[in-house]
Amino acid sequence: MNLKYGQLDILEQELETLLPMHRIAFAAACCERLFPNYGIFLRDIKEQGWNEKDPIREALEEIWEFLVGKNVDAARFRQLLSNCERYPYDYENEETAESQRAAWAICSTLELCLEPTLSNIISVAKHIEETLFEYLDCEMSEFENANWDKKSHKQVLEVIANHPFTIREMAKQSEDLQHLQETPTLTTEFLQRLRTSSENGGKSLLDLS
């Protein structure tokens, strides 16, 4: 199986074969690859004096603990979601599209824990696609190609779909999906491998850290 950028319908068909907890595991792995983008924002606002507990990282940790068997009830997930939605807006000038997408993806994964529907997990995948599009479109426009703005939307999508970051991400999603389909029980060892294989040396799927 080789997932392609923009083919969310095919991804949805594949995800439909997974058990609810397997869907959450797939989403959590996606969030790990997005989180360093949020981590940059977090580091910046901490340098400006924000020293509150970070709800986004706390939520992602709780999701992984839930996957390995911790008893987390719906009320706790709702509280985590509420905490995450109270984004530190006092520092909104420091936000980037990438940091916002990472936070929103984790919120979507919390919603997935409450209701493991296909629409909730596709929401996480959409944040991945939008992160790639927004970042690469900006990079190409500003630094790579003086004629970028003259390209059609179809041409832009084609370039982004064939960018090394995108190819790597789609390959990772394909790999994770296959492993989850082949693994009936989510053991602690399996989940640890899934999680660490998404860390990318502390860098995000955009190689940012």
What confidence score (pLDDT) does residue 146 get? 60
Q: What is the pLDDT along the chain (209 residues), one digit of tens a residue?
A: 789 999 999 999 999 999 999 999 999 999 999 999 999 988 888 888 877 888 999 999 999 999 999 999 999 999 999 999 876 655 666 678 899 999 999 999 999 999 989 999 999 999 999 999 999 998 888 765 667 888 888 999 999 999 999 999 999 999 999 999 999 999 999 999 999 999 999 999 999 99
pLDDT of residue 148: 82
Cα(29)–Cα(67) distance, integer angstroms: 11
pLDDT number for residue 90: 59
pLDDT at 133: 96
